[in-house]
Amino acid sequence: MLLAAIPSPTRGVWHLGPVPIRAYAFCIIAGILVAAWLTERRYVRRGGKPGVINQIATWGVPFGIVGARLYHVATSWQPYFGPNGDPLKALYIWEGGMGVWGAIAFGALGAWIGARRAGVTLPPLADAAAPGIALAQGIGRLGNWFNNEVYGGPTDLPWALTVHEWDQAAGRAVIGADGLPVVLGTFHPAFLYELLWTFGVAAVVIWADRRFRLGHGRAFGLYVALYTLGRLWIEALRIDDANTVLGLRLNIWTSLLVGLGAAALTLWSARRHPGREDLSSASEPSCTPRRAGGDG
């Protein structure tokens, strides 16, 4: 007999008059704010100038959000462009569907543009941002809880997750003939596993960065390697629909390739650029275009 289970919300959207308040969007915004705050603190402690992170975030955040949605639509295209699909729903970001790989890739592109405009280099920024990004991912996963999504196979473990049949368009659980929300069963809380894993990754990166004075992109590389390691087993638990390659979910292959690449580049950086950049002595304008000789 099930002794306990984690309850799931029966509603993921509320209305203040005509304005919808969506838990999924709120969690993403909260994660971004936490990441920006922590990144600013870490960057300034490394010797970077205050205010640079906010300037770069105005590029990195929008690029990251767009990239996250593009990755999801590209790798789960059937509901949008398949038979009976609705292409317009590719724009319905509030209904869920964000790919972390697209967020990192496009966010990095946006951050690179912002860094160029600010006259700073990207690797120290990435190192400062690494644990904040991990925390933002974990906080964002709470949005999946509100949407009753990202869960694994059935289980009766004490920390099993109660999942409702969900009306995605309405943002709430389907109501049965008895007037109660329809329960599909209890499942592994994959979203919670990833939340806890990313918080642990953030803690390890902060510790390792202090202990070994990681520089030249190595803190960011450590974050990516550790995150992908966790994503491999968490993704294997999930039972939601996903495209597969050679019998494995696409995100498992992505995690494997990205993780190996991050580990290789981190080791290469350690051999090629030992130590950490000295930002305190660098010419690093915070609000002016890049100048010749500018460093970060």
Mean pLDDT (whole number) for 193-202: 98
Res 4: pLDDT: 77
Structure confidence by residue, pLDDT tens digits, 199-211: 999 999 999 999 9
Mean pLDDT (whole number) for 183-196: 97
Most confident of 17-21, 206-210, 241-245, 286-290: 206-210
% of the chain surpassing 70 pLDDT:
93
DSSP structure string for 6-38: B---SBSEEEETTEEEEHHHHHHHHHHHHHHHH
Res 100: pLDDT: 87
CA nearest to 151, candidates 200, 187, 196 = 187
pLDDT at 235 over 90: yes
Given a contact cutoff of 8 angstroms between Cβ atoms, the answer to whether 110 and 104 are in contact is: no
Res 3: pLDDT: 52
Res 285: pLDDT: 43
Structure confidence by residue, pLDDT tens digits, 101-118: 899 899 999 999 999 999
Res 101: pLDDT: 87
Mean pLDDT (whole number) for 77-90: 89
Judged on CB neighbours under 10 Å (0-12, 13-18, 19+), 296 is buried
Task: Say which residue, 75 or 160, is predicted with more confidence.
Answer: 160
